[in-house]
Amino acid sequence: MSIIQPNILVFSPMQTDVETYAESIRNDGFMSVKTATTLDEVEKYLPGTEVILGWHFPTHLLSKPIASSVRWFQSMGAGVNDLIEDKSIPESIILTRIVNQFGTYISEYVFSFLLYIVKDYPRMRQSQLERRWDPFISETLKGKTIGVAGLGSIGAEIVRKARVFDMNVHGLSFSGKQASLVDCHFTPDQLSEFVKDLDYLVLTLPLTDSTHHIMTRDLLLAMKPKACLINVGRGLLIDEENLISVMQSGHLQTAILDVFETEPLPKDHVFWTMPNVYVTSHLSGPSTIEGVSSFFIGNLKRFLSEQPLHGLVDRKRGY
Amino acid sequence: MSIIQPNILVFSPMQTDVETYAESIRNDGFMSVKTATTLDEVEKYLPGTEVILGWHFPTHLLSKPIASSVRWFQSMGAGVNDLIEDKSIPESIILTRIVNQFGTYISEYVFSFLLYIVKDYPRMRQSQLERRWDPFISETLKGKTIGVAGLGSIGAEIVRKARVFDMNVHGLSFSGKQASLVDCHFTPDQLSEFVKDLDYLVLTLPLTDSTHHIMTRDLLLAMKPKACLINVGRGLLIDEENLISVMQSGHLQTAILDVFETEPLPKDHVFWTMPNVYVTSHLSGPSTIEGVSSFFIGNLKRFLSEQPLHGLVDRKRGY
């Protein structure tokens, strides 16, 4: 491989995106960049490719002879469960994901909804529509208890903001490394203990074998009846069928869902029209082209000088 | 005056409020508490009254012989321009206002609107109504510039929250005492310098001769065309007629108004229906009965032991 000019392939189903990424990479002096948006194009350009920057990539090709020069695959996203699930990807290919890029976006998203609900924005809006002077007293986030499941860079940023709102902050994590961030730390064997006192539960966990459908029916019912559930992690963290029946039974005041078992959320899905379910389109933590490009270029320089890459995926851990 | 049991009069036009205040004061062992909600009742109970806890009080009575025993008037609110304006109130009566009680409420109010706007909540909501998968990329508060006019306890709490959102924080104050809180501090002679770089301008100033109509037409036009103006101070800080014409000309993206020149805002006022004007009913910093009672009782104990009172009003300064 040429140390100075590795052969890079940028893949995403979005035509405009790949061109923008390629331009940004070339602007940093890396000239051997090809782009692909279809399976045909990937097959054409894979031979000789050493580095892939990809999103929704046809991973089954990575074990084929045409991919034999690939050494490193950088995902454009934070979640890489598609790459983990495809066991055919050779161990020799280094996998990395985007980290430390989503905390700002996702925490702003989370607090926009928490404040919307706690200040009773719908009532303020309705009063204006009716030209009604209505000086009601709202509740405050201050004094409420938030639980953050997953204390990676996203969870940590939510914790940081929760502090300035003077909330009680609980956390759950698998590794326990960041336990000191929160007032009360719980491990996965204490799930029902963790959820039972929360006013707000925010899921930022990665999707792994251990977290798949971690929000079972029993766990949903262990939450306070007036609690609010926010999922900015992965749709499959929640057993959606059970969430629907639990909410239809009147348990849980609100669900704020940015991720779903099936995305895009099908047109006829009941979530779209359930009262107290807020649906958004997997937009809370966007991979901005600017952010991903700069993360990738930083990693590329590390790769070329054989330094450890950021966002290295541990296939056993699952993220 | 009996040091142990001063004669206290609680006045507010709201019947239920005065009873709750009185009960809360009696619960703390102060048994000589009378309540009034009308002018007649005030006239009946004023003779012998030493301490008043009041809201929308008929201040012209304070100079009459029936009020000759009144030594201290505690307002239930933070703004006391009605007390300042009534020059007939004897200098011998100590005036206090509520301080340090509104930062939480008002800062949560301000950030609920800032996030609502920056995350483009209306678009998220509309997409859900149309069952449309719409993963757009919002802007962030991070990197935006907020200016806080007035750096008392309310302004300081807004600054504290703006910091955790990684905003650039500018501030304006008359005293300059809290200048170190902000990245750039401005004084009233630098008003147009202060406003010209702001994405968000939050007014938390008290109403005094110096701040009356401080937001002139020229100053509104000195703001960025896409800026957002938030008034949680007093309605008369803004020349409303000019705000209307400036916004109708397409200058300023949004105004969030919780206070008005005339309150309640008249039914036929154009603010109710102007696009990009958010009207709320002077509710951003509510005087909660619990908060005001506990502030008053703390001050009452200070009063009886001749310690300096909190929230002491300086008639010359105007608040």
- DSSP letter at B141 equals S
Spatial separation of the C-alpha atoms in residues A201 and A217, rounded to whole Å? 15
What's the rounded mean pLDDT across residues B15-26?
A: 93
Answer yes or no: do B94 and B209 share one domain: no
Within-domain flag for A269: yes
Phi and psi at residue B42, to the nearest 5°? -60, -45
CB-closest option in A121, A160, A272 to B128: A272
| Number of Cβ within a 10 Å radius of residue A59 | 17
Within-domain flag for A309: no
Answer yes or no: do B96 and B219 share one domain: no
Residue of A nearest to B157 (CA): A164
Within-domain flag for A310: no
Residues belonging to chain A with any Cβ–Cβ distance to chain B shorter than 8 Å: 104-105, 108-109, 111-112, 115-116, 118-119, 121, 124, 127-128, 131-138, 140-142, 160-161, 163-166, 263-265, 267, 272-273, 278-283, 286, 288
pLDDT tens digit string along B258-298?
Answer: 999 999 999 999 999 999 999 999 999 998 899 999 999 99
Answer yes or no: do A118 and A78 share one domain: no
Answer yes or no: do B12 and B146 share one domain: no
Phi and psi at residue B158, to the nearest 5°? -65, -40
**Band of residue A288 on the pLDDT scale cut at 50, 70, 90:** confident
Answer yes or no: do B271 and B185 share one domain: yes
- CATH code for the domain in which residue A21 is found: 3.40.50.720
Within-domain flag for B309: no
**Band of residue A3 on the pLDDT scale cut at 50, 70, 90:** low
Residue A161 has pLDDT above 60, yes or no: yes
Answer yes or no: do B112 and B248 share one domain: yes
- The confidence score (pLDDT) of residue A79 equals 86
Answer yes or no: do B197 and B267 share one domain: yes
A282: chain B residues, CB-CB within 8 Å = 135
Phi and psi at residue A70, to the nearest 5°? -70, 125
- The confidence score (pLDDT) of residue A1 equals 45
* Angstroms from B25 CA to nearest CA on chain A: 21
Within-domain flag for A44: yes
pLDDT tens digit string along A197-209?
Answer: 999 999 999 999 9
Residue B185 has pLDDT above 60, yes or no: yes
Residue A2 has pLDDT above 80, yes or no: no
Region at B311 (left for phi over 0; alpha for psi -120 to 50; beta for the rest):
left
What's the rounded mean pLDDT across residues B138-146?
A: 97
Within-domain flag for B313: no
Residue A136 has pLDDT above 80, yes or no: yes
- The confidence score (pLDDT) of residue A4 equals 77
Spatial separation of the C-alpha atoms in residues A45 and A39, rounded to whole Å? 10
The DSSP bridge partners found for residue A168 are A145
Answer yes or no: do A91 and A116 share one domain: no
How many percent of chain B have pLDDT more than 70?
Answer: 99
Residue A40 has pLDDT above 70, yes or no: yes
Residue B1 has pLDDT above 60, yes or no: no
Pair A118, A139: CB distance under 8 Å: yes
- Interface residue of B107, B134, B283 to substitute, partner A, most A CBs within 10 Å: B283
Spatial separation of the C-alpha atoms in residues A297 and A8, rounded to whole Å? 11
| Chain CA centroid to CA B204, Å | 7
B273: chain A residues, CB-CB within 8 Å = 131
Give the range of the structural domain holding residue B116, as residue numbers without chain letter: 103-279
How many percent of chain A have pLDDT more than 70?
Answer: 99
Answer yes or no: do B120 and B256 share one domain: yes
Mean pLDDT, chain A, rounded, equals 96
- The confidence score (pLDDT) of residue A15 equals 86
What's the rounded mean pLDDT across residues A172-192?
A: 96
Answer yes or no: do A66 and A82 share one domain: yes
pLDDT tens digit string along B86-109?
Answer: 999 999 999 999 998 899 999 999
What's the rounded mean pLDDT across residues A98-108?
A: 94
How many percent of chain B have pLDDT more than 90?
Answer: 92
Pair B166, B145: CB distance under 8 Å: no
**Band of residue A14 on the pLDDT scale cut at 50, 70, 90:** confident
* Angstroms from B275 CA to nearest CA on chain A: 11
How many percent of chain A have pLDDT more than 90?
Answer: 92
Nearest CA-CA partner of A286 in A8, A9, A14, A10 = A14
Pairing of strands A200-203, A145-149: parallel
- Interface residue of A108, A160, A166 to substitute, partner B, most B CBs within 10 Å: A108
What spatial distance separates the first Cα and last Cα of chain A, rounded to whole Å? 28
For B100, B294, B304, the CA distances from B301, given in Å and listed in that order, are 18, 11, 5
- The confidence score (pLDDT) of residue B3 equals 56
Answer yes or no: do B94 and B149 share one domain: no
